Structures are given as structure tokens and as C-alpha cells.
Amino acid sequence: MSHKIVHWEIMGPDGDALNAFYGEMFGWTSEAVPGFDSYHMVPADDTAVAGAVGKGMEQMPSYLTMYIEVDDVDEHLAKAEAAGGKTLVPKTVVPDIVTFGMMADPAGNMVGLVERDTPAAAE
């Protein structure tokens, strides 16, 4: 089974300024995501794989990462830990959008994991 890179993020303390920088540098277009503070989606048409530029998290204000598609985030976080990695963000569900987690490899590089199936919203 293939585990494709399906998303990337370039994040910093001022997501709007960072988005403007990359737009100016490379001509990337983007669209702000409603409900997410300074998170701008960049379409695959601009970069080959869709991604985002925006504001980082409080615990990780600046980072660059990629997300790899998996069947089960929990399973792959456990595999990472067994192989010398570390869980940074446990399995997190954003209904109707994504189920993801984040790990560090043994060298400390941050990598995101995304489940293939979009989670349904609670009814």
C-alpha cells in the first residue's frame, strides 16, 4: 500500500505575513480557511501537492512539515514510537475535514499523519 504525501504546512507566528511572503516569492494563490486563525490553503495547481501557509500553534509557533496518508493514525504513531520516534500531537479529529496526528522521527523532524477517510461530523 502506498503512503502518499498529501499535504504540507509552512507555519509561523504571523500567518498572514508568511502567506503574503510565499505568495510574493512564488506566485502562490491561497484562500483563508474560515474558523482557523490565519490558515491559508494553497491549491495543488500551484505546488503539485495542496498545502497551507499560516499561523503556528502556541507550542510550535514556527515549523515546516509534510503529512503522509495512512489508514490509522494511532497505529502509525505507535509504530513510530516503537522505532525510536515520538508522538507530538495525538490522533485529532476535525469533523468533516481531517483526522491527523504528528510525530517526530528519531532525528527530531516533525511529520504529520493523515487518515485516508474524512471523519463524519457528530450528529
Structural domains in the chain plus CATH codes: 5-115 (3.10.180.10)
d(CA 119, CA 116): 9
Percent of the chain with pLDDT over 70: 98
> Model's pTM, two decimal places?
0.84
Nearest of 86, 117, 118, 116 to residue 102 by alpha carbon: 86
Q: For a pLDDT cut of 90, what percent of the chain falls above it?
A: 80
Contact 13, 62 (CB under 8 A): yes
CA–CA separation, 121 and 64 (whole Å):
28
Question: Confidence class of residue 121 from pLDDT cuts 50, 70 and 90?
Answer: confident
Which residues have a Cβ under 8 Å from the Cβ of 48 and sit 6 or more positions away?
none
At 8 the three-state DSSP class reads strand
Q: What is the mean pLDDT of residues 85-110?
A: 93
